[in-house]
Structure 1
Amino acid sequence: MTEHATARDDLISVILPASNEAALIGDCLQALVRSDWTRDGAVQVIVVANGCHDDTAGQARRQAAAFAARGWALQVIERAEGGKLAALNAGDAAARGSIRVYLDADVTVSPGLLEQLAAALDTPAPRYASGRVEIAAQGAVSRAYARIWRRVPFMAEVVPGCGLFAVNAAGRARWDAFPGQIISDDIFARLQFRPEERVAVAAGYRWPIAEGWANLVRVRRRQNAGVDEIAARYPALAANDDKPAFPLARKLRLALADPAGFAVYAGVALAVKLSPRRDQGWSRGR
């Protein structure tokens, strides 16, 4: 683990990479600062505005007074270069907490999540933790997709860490810097831990998915490419994968329970399988 100062056990660091997120960063930070917090110590939030062409950094700085009122630190780092992995590494370099929370800028946490994560990670043993994912969607197609996705075994039975994951000091020592040019930082981090080292806490967080058919296909294709890339580049991590099977009988039950939702979900999966791999540049597709 790359360290620039001795980690403080009385501090939790939230690292928040943000690229052109001026419309969302305020809600993300406001949810954080409203967190329940009864533990000793404080919270350090580091926003890394990377490659922005909007007012992401300015919107983040407007939240500083609310954080200061709680005795928490809000730091905004501006990087001309884009790239989420480099932003994560810049955030890690500035972080001082022994617990690290990696948070996407479009995620909003529930009040109890931060404290529950800190409690779950308060151990000398390596641990990874995340909350209960609340998949959010607006349009009819994405809502239908979300109804099924939240019920597939991977989302319902393990600790996926989509949009938010946290590790303690011993867990963060499992790897050095985030590697450059990988698609799925969340999968890379998650598979550093054995299933029994991953903890799901009860508190939830809101994680929006892509809107519309074309964007769902594009993002699903990218997700699949990220899984394949990690398997190819880091085969040793495969031993830690606990993705549950999705048997045909379970799929049939879902299809009977929600035919419209299953048609959209299966149609997106089929479109990804039939369409050629295209540019994997990131698009959330809101």
Structure 2
Amino acid sequence: MTWTVSIILPAHNEADYIDACARALLQSDPLPDGWRAQVIIVANGCSDDTGARASAHTSAAEARGWEWRVIELDQGSKPGALNAGDTAAVGDVRVYLDADVLMSPALLPQLIAGLDRPEPAYGGGSPVVSRGHSWITRTYGRFWVTLPFVAQGSPGFGVFAMNQAGRARWGDWSQIISDDTFARLNFAPAERIRVEAAYHWPLVEGFRNLVRVRRRQNEGVAQIAKLYPELLCNDDNAPMGVSGLFQRMLRHPVGFLVYATVALAVKTPLFRTTSDWVRGR
């Protein structure tokens, strides 16, 4: 019997990142026995050559026995891209991957092994924040990775996965800001797994972009709380508390200062964006 893992990759003007993402994916370790891969890249609203670059990896995928499909949509919309990818997907396990993420070779087979079960399940890898180009991004990142949300559980930013029974919990993706948060909160903590294999995820560069993205993340969480309040019971992000924050401040005083400054700036009306996509590389 053969099972399929579908990797759905929405990509909007990702010409600078799609090649590295595709190469890392294609360097995955052998899949568990009986499993095949279906990769669906949805280039949506692109004004660059994201689609052509993605298509250039077709031969390498076919050499591995993988299906490799590129769908091009006129409109730039991540929910729209996710829906198009899901429509084409046939996977018993579905992996949702951002185009600027580099998966380690062990991640895909570990996700398959962890989600190969009849009951609904959600999974993710162990995130490694890529080294930033700017000092402020590097400093912010060193503090940010110590937060419980990043260091524990299955946060889901950059890449997340679920089995077919889990994906059946909702229909189409709605027009929401934070698709990864929505997906994660559709599963109770006991239904979520975190595998050891890593993936590399980049923070945006510079103070202004850190503020923009942090604000948009906050807006995404608030939007879910408003539209889907019943999902909040699945949030297991325990607050750090004063002692936890103080300990991190002592270990990373400069990082704490940068992190706190970004958090304060989020509350100002500056750096706002109305785009569905936030990019500041």
TM over 0.5: yes
Q: Are residues 1:91 and 2:85 paired?
A: yes
The CA deviation string for residues 133-167 of structure 1, in whole angstroms up to 9 with x for no partner, is 11122211001001111001111122100110000
RMSD: 1.3
Question: Separation in 1 of the partners of 2:52 and 2:273?
Answer: 31
How do 1:84-163 and structure 2 match up within 5 A? Answer: 84-136=78-130, 137-163=132-158
Q: Could you state the TM-score of these two structures normalised by the residue count of structure 1?
A: 0.95
Shift of 1:277: 8.3
2:230 aligned residue (222, 228, 236): 236
Amino acid at match of 1:19: H
Structure 2 counterparts to residues 39-54 of structure 1, below 5 A: 39=32, 40-54=34-48
Partner Cα distance (1:284, 1:269) in 2? 19
Structure 2 residue 167 is the aligned partner of structure 1 residue 172: yes
TM-score (norm 2): 0.96
Unaligned runs of 5+ in 1: 1-7
SS in 2 for 1:97: coil
Percent of residue pairs identical: 52
- Answer yes or no: is 1:257 the counterpart of 2:263: no
8 A Cα contact 1:128 1:197, kept in partner: yes
For 1:30, give the aligned amino acid.
Answer: R
Q: Secondary structure at the match of 2:280?
A: coil
Q: What displacement does 1:183 show?
A: 0.4
Residue 130 of structure 1: SS of its match in structure 2? strand
Which amino acid is 2:149 matched to?
Answer: F
Q: Which deviates the most, 252-261 or 269-278?
A: 269-278
Partner AA of 2:17 in structure 1: L
Q: Deviations over 1:232-276 (max 9, x none)?
A: 010111111111111111111111111111111111001112446
Question: Which AA in structure 1 matches 2:211?
Answer: V
Amino acid at match of 1:24: Y
Question: In the TM superposition, what whole-angstrom CA distance separates every residue of 1:56-97 from its partner, at most 9, and x where no partner exists?
Answer: 010001111110100001100000011000000000000111
Structure 2 CA distance for aligned equivalents of residues 279 and 224 of structure 1: 13
1:19 CA drift (Å): 0.3
Unaligned runs of 5+ in 2: none
Alpha-carbon contact 1:129-1:201 (below 8 Å) kept: yes
What residue is the counterpart of 1:27 in the other structure?
A: 20
CA distance in 2, matches of 1:192, 1:46: 23
Deviation track 1:164-219 (CA, whole Å, cap 9, x = no partner) reads 0000010001111101x210000111100000000000001001011000000000
- The count of aligned residue pairs is 278
Answer yes or no: is the 8 Å Cα contact 1:222–1:280 preserved in 2: no
Q: Is the 8 A contact 2:30 2:109 kept in 1?
A: yes
SS in 2 for 1:49: strand
Distance 1:166 1:9, change over 3 A: farther
